[in-house]
Amino acid sequence: METHAYKRMEEINRLHMVKKGIFAGLPIMVGYLPIALTYGVLANNSGLSILELTMMSVFVFAGAAQFLAVGMVAAGTGFIEIITATFVLNFRHFVMSLSFVNRLKNIALRAKIPLTLGLTDETFTMSALYRKEAKEDYASWFYASLILTAYASWVGGSLVGGLLGDVMPERLSESMGIALYAMFIGLLLPSIKKEHKIAIIALIAIGINTFLQSLGMSQGWAIVLGTLLGGMSGIWIMNEEGEDA
């Protein structure tokens, strides 16, 4: 009887973490949908079949790289160049993943690997704001739910965009291009408000990224270096817990 009650409690805790994860992923779902629809439309117009463009979302799950690839396919660029450009653009996820797993020491490797495969700019930065959950029971269920909510929106949106074509009025889809940037701002601001020093980290990253891109460096490497060097200022600003120093 006692073990039964215990099991029941475990289930409730797990369900609670899943619900919390889905809730945390909802803003990403909203942000991804218009972008995914646009990707589906563009990819289809560039000659990718519905199956191909959906499979790309399933297996690559990286918005910017997918847009780049579709544009390069349309321009007749070779596959090797497309794959190289994808690597450069997505290498920032290595840095993000390192920061992500460094906070998830309590999670088993077999759970960590699938979680890291779902890391994007959005799922990573959103997860980073829920650092308390990393220490709770069923932490992996929380992060998995957050990531899968975003993933479902990205894959589903791509498919629907490819199937339906241009359903959104152009003006509206153009306006929605701001969505992810606004989300990044909405994620960053509360942390800055709580601890002003965090603004220094972000501003250094912005400065380095802008400077390197103005010198003609590719967007991919400029973001990687901006993130790494901007983050380096955290050595003096942050404390170990990652809360405000």
Instruction: With contacts defined by CB under 8 A, name the span among 132-140, 141-149, 152-160, 237-245 that binds other proteins.
Output: 237-245
Q: How many CB atoms lie within 10 A of CB 66?
A: 24
Nearest to other proteins of 152, 200 (CB atom): 200
Q: What is the DSSP string of 60-103?
A: T--HHHHHHHHHHHHTT--HHHHHHHHHHHHTHHHHHHHHHHHT
Considering just the CA atoms, what is the radius of gyration of the chain in Å?
Answer: 20
- How far is the C-alpha of 202 from the C-alpha of 125, rounded, in Å? 13
Q: Is 97 an interacting residue with respect to other proteins (CB under 8 A)?
A: yes
Smallest gap from residue 9 Cβ to other proteins (A): 29
Footprint on residues 170-229 left by other proteins (CB under 8 A): 171-172, 174-179, 181-191, 193, 198, 201-206, 208-210, 213, 219, 222-223, 226-229
Which of 71, 112, 217, 221 is the binder for other proteins (CB under 8 A)? 112
Q: Which residues 6+ apart lie within 8 Å of 82 measured at CB?
A: 68, 69, 72, 73
Instruction: Report whether 95 contacts 124 (CB < 8 A).
Output: no
- How far is the C-alpha of 224 from the C-alpha of 80, rounded, in Å? 22
Smallest gap from residue 125 Cβ to other proteins (A): 5
Total binding residues for other proteins by CB under 8 A? 98
Footprint on residues 122-181 left by other proteins (CB under 8 A): 124-125, 128-129, 171-172, 174-179, 181
Q: Is 13 an interacting residue with respect to other proteins (CB under 8 A)?
A: no
Q: Is 23 an interacting residue with respect to other proteins (CB under 8 A)?
A: no
